[in-house]
Structure 1
Amino acid sequence: MDLSTFRKEYSTKGLHREDLSRDPIEVFEQWFKQASELGIHEPNAMTLATVSPDGLPSQRTVLLKAFNHDGFTFFTNYSSRKGIQIDNNPSVSVLFPWLTLERQIIIQGIVTKVTKEESLEYFRSRPRDSQIGAWVSDQSTVINSRGILEQNLTEISRKYEGKDVPLPPHWGGYRIKPKTIEFWQGAAARIHDRFIYTVQSSGDWLMQRLSP
């Protein structure tokens, strides 16, 4: 299959420095709101990249559940491959690929676990089926068949029938404290606009334009 003809010309007017706040969290909030209002499917879906102890990168899609000046928060199984890799190397990168809007956002930063209280608060807000599901799977491990998962689901559902589902000890939130945030806007002739914010020792953000 020849992919050389798969090509799209970007049609937006580009992105200018004066369009952007000095605070990248404000820019992210503005872009996220626009993506939501324009009907982007799951705009909070982000590709998370982690690295194994031997330097092999790994990626998967997770859902952003909160963001503010403290960082970007998602929830997952701490015993999963991503969790193990984060324990070994807390440096990560996430990508929001809003291609319909001809936009991307790339965040690089350091991950820490949120408090148990924060994890519990979010866990209680999840649908009951999702709460039970957090107990069912030993994420990223090899299994012989789906039947194992279905059996576990039945057993866990019976165990907590008529009861509150407790927070699993292996499940909770991570918060990414950004070091850099890059905003990418497609433009004509592949002369795309890229602005990167880098946090300084003072806590202020340095904004610079990057060559496409």
Structure 2
Amino acid sequence: MASLQDIRRDYKLAELRQEDLDPSPIAQFEQWLKQVVDSGVPDPTAMTIATVAEDGQPSQRIVLLKDVNAAGFVFYTNLASRKANELAHNNRISLHFPWHFMERQVKVCGVAQPLSSAEVASYFFSRPKESQIAAWASKQSHPISTRQMLLAKYHEIKQKFADGEVPLPKFWGGYRVVPHEIEFWQGGEHRLHNRFLYSRDKNLDYLKDKQEWQIQRLMP
């Protein structure tokens, strides 16, 4: 294997100029997301989310973005999972979209707000039945001795709901990440990357106070 220090490449696909940015970071994000989806790359909505435990230990994992609009970024999870327990203690969160093949990244910082029961139910019942059953079968983030035990639980739940609708588990929900910072990164030649940070006052209600986003260019 080559030395890790020797693995590098230059970034030449595109430039990112401030005059080309949409005043809204959500609109800018939607433009980039559409290009990723249209490219046909696997898992275009995959994002890394970072949360922090009570002892200050950060933790990351990959989940799928399920909606984005002016209100924020939406994902779903088991409410007994590590991420949900950490968000219950500290609802500050960071999202990262690693679109390396397009020489792009997007980072989001904000707070996670629980979704309403109606929003959770609407999405849960739109999922394939197998995914609904898997939600019941897995106590996410909890230890298990063998995969066979997990599969046995899955088949038990599958049999239980074989002839009817799978109900919404009380322990299953979702979050909307309300952002106060969104950074767009476009790779540049000679490591002179283009970075633009949209920010607003995180202590204000942006919907009520009609906050405008401020845009700054950052050094690479």
With the length of structure 2 as denominator, give the TM-score of the two structures: 0.94
- Once the two structures are superposed, what CA deviation does each residue of 1:134-188 show, in whole Å capped at 9, x if it has no partner? 0001111111111111111111111111110000101011100001000000000
Per the TM alignment, residue 43 of structure 1 is displaced from its structure 2 partner at its CA by: 1.3
- Once the two structures are superposed, what CA deviation does each residue of 1:16-75 show, in whole Å capped at 9, x if it has no partner? 001101110110010001111122221110000000100001000000000001010000
Q: Are 1:114 and 1:175, in contact at CA under 8 Å, matched by a contact in 2?
A: yes
Partners of 1:13 and 1:161 lie apart in 2 by 52
Q: 1:35-74 counterparts in 2 under 5 A? A: 35-74=36-75
- 2:150 alignment partner AA: L
- 2:100 alignment partner AA: L
Per the TM alignment, residue 3 of structure 1 is displaced from its structure 2 partner at its CA by: 0.4
Other structure's SS at 1:54 match: coil
The farther-off stretch of 124-133 and 144-153 is 144-153
Q: 1:48-197 counterparts in 2 under 5 A? A: 48-197=49-198
Partners of 1:66 and 1:13 lie apart in 2 by 27
Paired residue for 2:4? Answer: 3
- Once the two structures are superposed, what CA deviation does each residue of 1:182-205 show, in whole Å capped at 9, x if it has no partner? 000000000000000002444210
Partners of 1:37 and 1:140 lie apart in 2 by 33
Partners of 2:135 and 2:102 lie apart in 1 by 33
Q: Are 2:105 and 2:185, in contact at CA under 8 Å, matched by a contact in 1?
A: yes
Other structure's SS at 2:214 match: strand
Partners of 1:52 and 1:40 lie apart in 2 by 33
- CA RMSD in angstroms comes to 0.9
How many equivalent pairs are there?
212
Structure 1: tracts of 5 or more residues without a match: none
Q: Are 2:113 and 2:175, in contact at CA under 8 Å, matched by a contact in 1?
A: yes
Paired residue for 1:210? Answer: 218
Q: Are 1:40 and 1:98, in contact at CA under 8 Å, matched by a contact in 2?
A: no
Q: Tell me which stretches of 4 or more aligned residues in structure 1 moved more than 2 Å.
A: none
The farther-off stretch of 90-99 and 192-201 is 192-201
Partners of 1:129 and 1:113 lie apart in 2 by 24
- 1:11 alignment partner AA: K
Partners of 1:195 and 1:39 lie apart in 2 by 26
Per the TM alignment, residue 103 of structure 1 is displaced from its structure 2 partner at its CA by: 0.0
Other structure's SS at 1:147 match: helix
- 2:62 alignment partner AA: T
With the length of structure 1 as denominator, give the TM-score of the two structures: 0.98
Structure 2: tracts of 5 or more residues without a match: none
Percentage of identical aligned residues: 46
The farther-off stretch of 186-195 and 2-11 is 2-11
